[in-house]
């Protein structure tokens, strides 16, 4: 592809969370737009200090961030002229492309996508009239809009279109507050299928997942209820699953203490370090391919509000031909379940799904790959997005 359809800028934040899952998410957008004939560019202008890449507070965060971005872009065939790191956390310098070229890019781009909604829009982002908000974690923003929060309104106002992973947003069974001022369109994570072809990795007879065990700082209050962000609460609801099906499950977790590790192990769960396997995208991919399938939970916010959210990590398991069993968020209203993809609401539902996969693993592996191809392929997801905004 020669980029004849124009330039697309992804405003991301890989250096805030420099782990493989986040890298893959950005790569799927960049390479997915390239498959559609666009010329993709990656820019960070979020003003967050890249502490995760710094050895101490006196380190050169901009240099570390630039090196990290450059490595990712080169690895996936996108050179130095395709990225910029705007050091708004520090001296305002621009690394990668020149300041002049970055200004031209903002001016000429067909789309500027605020991925995660993680970048506070600058004047130059909004001036083109092509700034798109793309939310990957619904919940807090919609609650704030429902309260008429002025800060949230000011943040969204410069965008001209709004997309969310809350695929059930606006449906009768979804309790996420519905905004009358901002028209959110459902979308889902794109996957470049060729990156997830069955690799020559030995498949272990074990279900896995990757994530954070405990995160207490993003709970949301709505309608006099607290909706939780941390996944440990949901895993505790299925603690007895290994004993019900006589199988082992492996959780690659960060933010987990020794006491919780021992509790999980006592109930038949294996626990490994998520950060160790997430340092390299290739290692992460091999871990997914080595799995029999994925078993995981969702955040309470998505479960009880029935947002329809679906994990970008789970989408890659499907693309790798690894069946996914995950907690029900309402995504079954939009994605087919029962062949390669299963939802559950109780530990007994989960056990039934595990038994189904074990009874016919080849059929469910093929079914997983087909769900990914039909519903998550980058050409389909991003093709729908650009059509929706008239590009």
DSSP state of 27: H
Q: Which of 21, 17, 19 is nearest to 44 (CA)?
A: 17
pLDDT digits (tens, 9 = 90+) for 77-128: 997 799 999 999 999 999 999 999 999 999 999 999 999 999 999 999 999 9
How far is residue 293's CA from residue 311's CA, in Å, rounded to a whole number?
Answer: 14
- Band (161; pLDDT cuts 50, 70, 90): very high
In this predicted structure, the answer to whether residue 3 has a pLDDT above a threshold of 70 is no
User: What distance lies between CA 209 and its chain's CA centroid?
Assistant: 14
Q: What percent of the chain has pLDDT over 90?
A: 94
- Band (216; pLDDT cuts 50, 70, 90): confident
Q: Mean pLDDT over residues 150-178, rounded?
A: 97
- CATH fold of 193-375: Rossmann fold (3.40.50)
Q: What pairs with residue 155 in β-bridges?
A: none
| Residue 63 structure tokens | 């240099």
Q: Which of 299, 322, 323 is nearest to 310 (CA)?
A: 299
**pLDDT at site 1:** 39
**pLDDT at site 199:** 67
In the chain, residues under CATH classification 3.40.50.2000 are 193-375
Q: Mean pLDDT over residues 206-219, rounded?
A: 95
Contact of 189 with 313, CB cutoff 8 Å: no
Mean pLDDT over the full length of the chain = 95
SS3 state at 272: strand
How far is residue 286's CA from residue 250's CA, in Å, rounded to a whole number?
Answer: 15
CA distances 224 to 65, 143, 170, Å, are 41, 12, 21
pLDDT digits (tens, 9 = 90+) for 374-385: 999 999 999 999
Q: 7-191+377-388 sits in which CATH class?
A: alpha beta
Question: Residues with Cβ < 8 Å from 246, sequence gap 6 or more?
Answer: none
pLDDT digits (tens, 9 = 90+) for 29-83: 999 999 999 999 999 999 999 999 998 877 789 999 999 999 999 999 997 799 9
**pLDDT at site 2:** 46
pLDDT digits (tens, 9 = 90+) for 331-340: 999 999 999 9
How far is residue 292's CA from residue 359's CA, in Å, rounded to a whole number?
Answer: 13
**pLDDT at site 200:** 73
Q: Mean pLDDT over residues 158-163, rounded?
A: 98
Q: Mean pLDDT over residues 245-272, rounded?
A: 96
Compare 3 and 172 and report the one with higher pLDDT: 172
Q: Mean pLDDT over residues 278-300, rounded?
A: 97
Q: Inter-axis angle of helices 20-35 and 281-289, to 10 degrees?
A: 90
**pLDDT at site 16:** 96
């Amino acid at each position: 592809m020669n980029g004849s359809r124009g330039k697309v800028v992804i405003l991301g934040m890989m250096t805030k969370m420099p782990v493989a899952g986040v890298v893959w998410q950005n790569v799927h957008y960049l390479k997915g737009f390239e498959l559609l004939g666009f010329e993709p560019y990656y820019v960070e202008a979020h003003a967050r200090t890249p502490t995760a890449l710094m050895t101490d507070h006196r380190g050169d965060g901009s240099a570390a961030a630039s090196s990290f971005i450059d490595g990712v872009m080169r690895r996936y065939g996108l050179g130095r002229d395709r990225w910029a790191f705007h050091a708004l956390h520090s001296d305002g310098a621009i690394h990668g492309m020149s300041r002049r070229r970055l200004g031209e890019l903002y001016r000429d781009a067909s789309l500027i996508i605020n991925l995660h909604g993680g970048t506070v829009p600058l004047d130059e982002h909004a001036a083109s009239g092509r700034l798109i908000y793309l939310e990957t974690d619904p919940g807090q923003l919609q609650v704030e809009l429902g309260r008429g929060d002025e800060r949230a309104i000011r943040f969204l106002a410069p965008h001209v279109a709004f997309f969310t992973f809350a695929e059930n947003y606006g449906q009768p069974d979804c309790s996420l507050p519905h905004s009358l001022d901002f028209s959110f369109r459902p979308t889902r994570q794109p996957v470049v299928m060729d990156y997830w072809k069955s690799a020559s990795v030995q498949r272990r007879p074990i279900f896995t997942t990757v994530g954070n065990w405990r995160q207490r700082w993003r709970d949301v209050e709505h309608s006099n209820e607290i909706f939780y962000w941390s996944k440990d609460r949901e895993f505790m609801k299925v603690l007895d699953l290994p004993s019900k099906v006589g199988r082992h499950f492996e959780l690659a977790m960060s933010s987990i203490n020794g006491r919780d590790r021992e509790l999980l192990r006592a109930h038949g769960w294996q626990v490994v370090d998520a950060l160790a396997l997430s340092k390299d995208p290739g290692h992460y991919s091999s871990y997914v391919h080595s799995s029999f399938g994925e078993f995981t939970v969702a955040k309470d916010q998505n479960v009880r509000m029935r947002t329809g959210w679906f994990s970008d990590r789970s989408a890659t398991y499907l693309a790798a031909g690894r069946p996914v069993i995950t907690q029900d968020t309402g995504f079954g209203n939009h994605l087919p379940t029962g062949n390669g993809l299963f939802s559950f609401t109780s530990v007994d539902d989960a056990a039934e799904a595990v038994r189904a996969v074990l009874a016919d693993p080849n059929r469910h592996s093929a079914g997983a790959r087909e769900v990914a191809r039909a519903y998550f392929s980058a050409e389909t997801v991003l093709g729908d997005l650009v059509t929706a905004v008239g590009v």
